[in-house]
Amino acid sequence: MDIIWNSLRELITPTTAAYALAAIGLNVHFGFTGLLNFGQAGFVAIGAYGFAISVMTFGFSTPLAIAVTLVLAAGYALLLGVPTLRLRADYLAIVTIAAAEIIRFALNSSAFAKWTGGANGLYNEYSGWLKGSNPYPSGVVTVGPWTFGSNDLWIATVDWLVVLLTAGAIYLLVRSPWGRVLKGIREDEHAMLSLGKNVNLYKLQALVIGGVIGAAAGILYVQPTSVQPFDFATRMTFNMYTMLILGGAATVFGPILGSMIFWVVMRFTDELVNLGVDGGLFDNVTQGSQLRFVLVGVALVLLVVFRPQGILGNRTELSFDAK
Amino acid sequence: MTPSKAIRWLLAVLALACVLALPSPAAAAPADEWGFRGLLRDGEKQPVSGAAVQVKDGDTVVGSDTTDDKGRWEIIPVPGPGTYTLTIDTTAASGHFAGDEYEVDKELVESPTTLPVLNVVVSTTESSQQVASFTDRLAQRAVSGFNLGLLIAIAAIGLSLVFGTSRFTNFAHGESVTFGGLTGFVLAHVLGLPLLLAAAVATVLGGFFGYAQDVAFWRPLRRRGVSLITLMIASIGISMAIRSLMQFSFGSASRGMTEESWGTVTLGPVVMPATSYAGMGISIVVLAGVGLWLKHGRIGKATRAIAGNTALAATSGVAVDKITRIVWVLAGALAALSGVLLGVFNQVSFDMGFNLLLLMFAGVILGGLGTSFGTLAGSIVVGLCTEILVLWIPADMKYVGGLAVLVIVLLVRPQGIFGRRERIG
């Protein structure tokens, strides 16, 4: 029973919220506009490192650090988008994954360790602003069947607030004329061109907006923990694809639902692996957890082939499924 | 040995993680003793023997060892978790050393996910300022880069052929390379087969691996008539699943492909292991063979016909399904060969193929997506850039050079060197 409650706790943890937010950003790219961004982890990394370095190295105030980080992410999106958006879908996919890896290699490198901490990452000396404003009683707080550290719960609260506000903004955006143009581009780029829309400009705007949301997710992602370069590997992006397609691409709540289910299942299998370690089935937790990512890969294949609309999606609204 | 050669040897002295036990869930029960274990190698990835390694806690020496003829050393036990200083003194070492001493701090951390014996990676950056002349280092790097470029090319031609016949970018192609590397490791290192035999067997098995992928995934998906984007996302899922499975069975460490040593060959300022030249020879023969086959062979011509216009090829009597299957087998075999050679050139690890995949993309796009000759040329340029840029950028950012080429090409000439404009829009 403990296993189930522990797993369900993931429904509201900060990590789930941060992933949900990054997946919302990816949804703007992939779900609404049809852009195949295989490097969302790069945007998240820019968010995490941009914020941490702004605060720790340059001593910026929190609002300034957030602003600088989001502007950086927007600049990165422009850098990627301008050369590649006029090319076919594969090119954007390849360039985004390559650029995300360039970022990760650079952050991991000893060359910039003065700022990035190299392979060791950065200790958390940047989330004082959040912890300082914590209204919950210090110590352990009980929420329903779960207990949280006071700071964790406050971070989770702020994170989910950001997720809900962003989801609301996306809801309004995709119903606006602007959002309808995006969907039009996804369905038939040439039709939108012939209507006199500047397709590349709209795509670029979508790339910037989704990327900035991804960077915001990066800021949230590192608040409860330290910054670790390995977290921003390509696996992060494809976890997001799995949650996005699971929940339902091109829906407002799909990424949030997807993230919740994903992390509950991951936690559940993690608990099973722990049992397996206790039972002598695996050497250690790391080894057992590799098997979970085999499952994620298989799940992604099965989802995209057999249920591309996910749980909430509408199959007729998904152009990526069309021949 | 001349001083300049000696210096090149010291471009980097690496102590690399080397877990020699066969990976199996039951084999490596964690011991309770804390300690360090490592492999000391020079810039050309040759073992350095006879170097003195010490572990110090502050100023107190808690253990010392001398590297053996494979460059291995082991200092177990040490008192427990904590931060230790590792010193490596190469005064008495074999080879071309000027008696350099290296020092690095390492921390043993107590946590449920780490083993008490730490496999160590030490890299020194200060030695490159020593005497080797710039042109000598450039020559060394250029030969390495050419070698790497050939390896990229072998794998990338498979990727390019699959793209031509199956119409999608296969993100799981890197796992076929890793498959070759790991199979080669099992054959050469674990079973002790001679290197060439291991390479040949791994290549054949790689062909089966490619065939199996086509039968298990891609043919059913083609039959369902799924879209390009679905295929690409599915290939990502497959790549993740296979890579995690390989990490599960092989572990996260990098290991040497074989203990077999062919010695080194010195050509002017360039010192390379003989295996590298053999690898280059094999690569060139294979690439020439594939090129001739594509140009003149019946099936090769059919492959190009499908890539040019599938519907027209089909109506002209080309058995599209059969050719596609052959291409998958060939792509798997080439990728596996590339994996074995890469394992000899570098090391074997579960993500070697995935890292190479990004360089393959760079090569393919630089040459022009869907052109075989362009793929070859592009791959060699990417290999050269990757290795030569290490003269200016730190070695741990090595791949950044190759990937930067990719981004620059797309900015300046997105159709690549030999590509045609209509392929990209």
B99 touches chain A (CB under 8 A): no
Q: Give the pLDDT score at B83.
A: 74
Q: Indicate the helix (H) or strand (E) that contains B337.
A: helix B320-345
Written as one letter, the residue type at B3 is P
Q: Which of B298, B314, B338 is nearest to B210 (CA)?
A: B338
Write out A190-233 in H/E/C secondary structure: HHHHHCCCCHHHHHHHHHHHHHHHHHHHHHHHCCCCCECHHHHC
Give the torsion sign (CA, B59, B63, B66, B67): negative
Written as one letter, the residue type at B301 is K
Tell me the two tokens of residue A38.
Answer: 């295989």
Preferred mutation among A76, A90, A103 to probe B, highest tally of B CBs within 10 A: A90
Is the separation of the CB atoms in B291 and B157 below 8 Å? no
Is the separation of the CB atoms in B155 and B175 below 8 Å? no
pLDDT at B380 over 70: yes
CATH, range B3-129: 2.60.40.10
Beta bridge partners of B53: B65, B88
CATH, range B134-423: 1.10.3470
Pairing of strands B82-89, B52-57: antiparallel
Q: How far is CA A299 from the centre of its chain?
A: 18
Q: Give the pLDDT score at B127.
A: 43
Nearest-angstrom CA–CA distance, B1 and B134: 18
Average predicted confidence (pLDDT) for chain A:
89
| Chain B hits for A290, Cβ within 8 Å | 244-245, 247-248
| Chain B hits for A315, Cβ within 8 Å | none
Taking CA–CA distances from B121, the nearest residue in chain A reads A119
Nearest-angstrom CA–CA distance, B275 and B264: 8
Taking CA–CA distances from B24, the nearest residue in chain A reads A283
Q: How many helices (H) and strands (E) does chain A have?
A: 14, 2
Angle at A83 between CA B423 and CA A229, to 5 degrees: 115
Q: Which of B258, B297, B294, B295 is nearest to B278 (CA)?
A: B258
Preferred mutation among B110, B240, B358 to probe A, highest tally of A CBs within 10 A: B240
Q: Same topology for domains B3-129 and B134-423, yes or no? A: no
Is the separation of the CB atoms in B71 and B299 below 8 Å? no
**A46: pLDDT confidence band, cut at 50, 70 and 90?**
very high
Is the separation of the CB atoms in B15 and B122 below 8 Å? yes
Number of domains observed in the structure of chain A: 1
The CATH number linked to A269 is 1.10.3470
- Asked if A101 and B358 come within 8 Å (Cβ–Cβ), the reply is yes
The 10 Å Cβ neighbour count of residue B82 is: 15
| Chain A hits for B224, Cβ within 8 Å | 305
Q: Give the pLDDT score at A3.
A: 84
Is the separation of the CB atoms in B355 and B340 below 8 Å? no
Give the torsion sign (CA, A55, A59, A64, A68): negative
- Considering only CB atoms, A304 lies closest to which of B171, B230, B396, namely B230
| Chain B hits for A236, Cβ within 8 Å | none
Highest mean pLDDT among A17-26, A306-315, B28-37, B72-81: A17-26
- Asked if B361 and A94 come within 8 Å (Cβ–Cβ), the reply is yes
Which residues span the domain enclosing A173?
2-321
Interhelix angle A199-221/A150-175, rounded to 10 degrees, is 170
What does the pLDDT look like over B264-273, one tens digit per residue? 788 877 878 8
Tell me the two tokens of residue B12.
Answer: 């980097």
Q: For B216-225, B327-336, B361-370, which range has the lowest pLDDT when averaged over its residues?
A: B361-370
- Asked if A304 and B233 come within 8 Å (Cβ–Cβ), the reply is yes
- In this predicted model, which residue has the larger pLDDT, B130 or B350? B350
Angle at A118 between CA A242 and CA B249, to 5 degrees: 50
Calculate mean pLDDT across residues A251-255: 94
So where are chain B's domains? 3-129, 134-423
Distance from CA of A133 to the nearest CA of B (A): 32
Calculate mean pLDDT across residues B149-178: 91
